[in-house]
Amino acid sequence: MELLDQRFLGNELSEWLISLALLVGLVILIRIVYGVFKRVSRRVTNRTATQLDDIIVDKVEEPIVFIVSVAAIYIVLERLSFGQVVDQFIGDGIWFGVNIGITWLLVRLSNALMTEFLTPYFNQEDSSVQDQRLPIIQKMIVIIIWAVGVLIALNNAGYNVGALLAGLGIGGVAFALAAKDTISNFFGGIIILIDKPFNIGDRIKVAGYDGNVVSIGLRSTRLRTLENRMVTIPNLKFIDGIVENVSSQPSQKMTLKIGLVYNTTPEQIEEAMNALHEINDRVQGTDKNCVTSFTDFGDFALGIHFIYYITPEGDYFNTQSEINLGILKEFNKKGLEFAFPTQTIHTEMASFKG
């Protein structure tokens, strides 16, 4: 038995063997209890109508196993002695691990509960809003939970959290000054997602760019311009500048000035204005209320003013093309002649008497 009485790292070999056997027994016990708990909990939750209990059971399994495993390591190491300093370090490490496990549990629960309860709320709005806002809210809450959890874990492990926070405060001021624009863009992204001046797919005008919103991020927003180019705009521009949401207007006013030749009869002028009303009624994507008016006698044309409106559902360019093609076909069919700049020069022959 002398072999078992030999000491290794301050403990007899027999104590090491007992601790190892205890660790193996605890691992087996944990696996058995975990398996039984999993089967029983599944049966119970499957009988209920709500999904909340299923979510809770699914999300707490792994963190609880981690916490119990840390506790098992503590039970095993508690039997051994490594000296005051090492024992204190092990005790602090165990507390740190337990706190991290609890934080992990809270993070998983918060993510699951937010997905379960916030998703129906966001489903009442535009799906693009849900795609952008929900993940950002989840990330922010997760960061807060982890930050608080790590600070508590460090405090329980014996670290001076006050001094750490003071150091972080000084460093945070320096970081904020160095990354002022990045921080401004970050808060700009949050304001966009909360205030919702526009959604994904909307056509907007900002900082001299005109295009459709492709994505809204925490640092920048991407537009696809009318030239089909992708533009990345820092969110700070949306706070400091003026944003025009073209898609939010009820309809977009379009104005055409049509000139007919001077030999057009009054009856043809009326026929032309009636044709414009019919064309507007036929084209999809226009408001059926339009305005036509015989407005002026120009230098070389009789002017007809045509105002129509493109609805948000209508395509901006295709609708204009259909209107213009309809006018061209209908006017040609009715023999209505478009005017263009012309000049008529009258010359008189002078007579000379000899």
| More confident of the two residues 344 and 251 | 251
Tokens linked to 336? 């209505």
C-alpha distances (whole Å) from 215 to each of 121, 200, 211, 222, 241 are 21, 6, 12, 5, 19
Tokens linked to 58? 């699914």
Q: What is the pLDDT of residue 126?
A: 54
Instruction: Tell me the fold of 184-247.
Output: SH3 type barrels. (2.30.30)
| More confident of the two residues 219 and 329 | 329
C-alpha 219/C-alpha 181 separation (Å) is 10
pTM: 0.51
pLDDT tens track for 183-218 = 777 777 777 777 788 888 888 998 889 999 998 887
pLDDT tens track for 75-103 = 887 777 777 777 778 788 888 888 888 88
**Residue 321 above 60 pLDDT?**
yes
Where in the chain are the domains?
A: 2-177, 184-247, 249-333
pLDDT tens track for 122-145 = 555 555 555 566 677 777 788 888
**Residue 250 above 80 pLDDT?**
no
- Same fold for the domain at 184-247 and the one at 249-333? no
C-alpha 4/C-alpha 6 separation (Å) is 5
Q: If you average pLDDT over residues 163-173, what whole number do you get? A: 62
Query: Three-state SS string across the chain, please?
Result: CHHHHCEECCEEHHHHHHHHHHHHHHHHHHHHHHHHHHHHHHHHHHCCCCCHHHHHHHHHHHHHHHHHHHHHHHHHHHCCCCCHHHHHHHHHHHHHHHHHHHHHHHHHHHHHHHHHHHHHHHHCCCHHHHHHHHHHHHHHHHHHHHHHHHHHHHHHCCCCHHHHHHHHHHHHHHHHHHCHHHHHHHHHHHHHHHHCCCCCCCEEEECCEEEEEEEECCCEEEEEECCCCEEEEECHHHHHCCCEEHHHCCCEEEEEEEEECCCCCHHHHHHHHHHHHHHHHHCCCECCCCEEEEEEECCCCEEEEEEEEECCCCCHHHHHHHHHHHHHHHHHHCCCCECCCCCCCCCCCCCCCC
Q: What is the pLDDT of residue 9?
A: 61
Note the CATH number of domain 249-333: 3.30.70.100
Residue percentage of the chain with pLDDT more than 90: 23
C-alpha 128/C-alpha 122 separation (Å) is 10
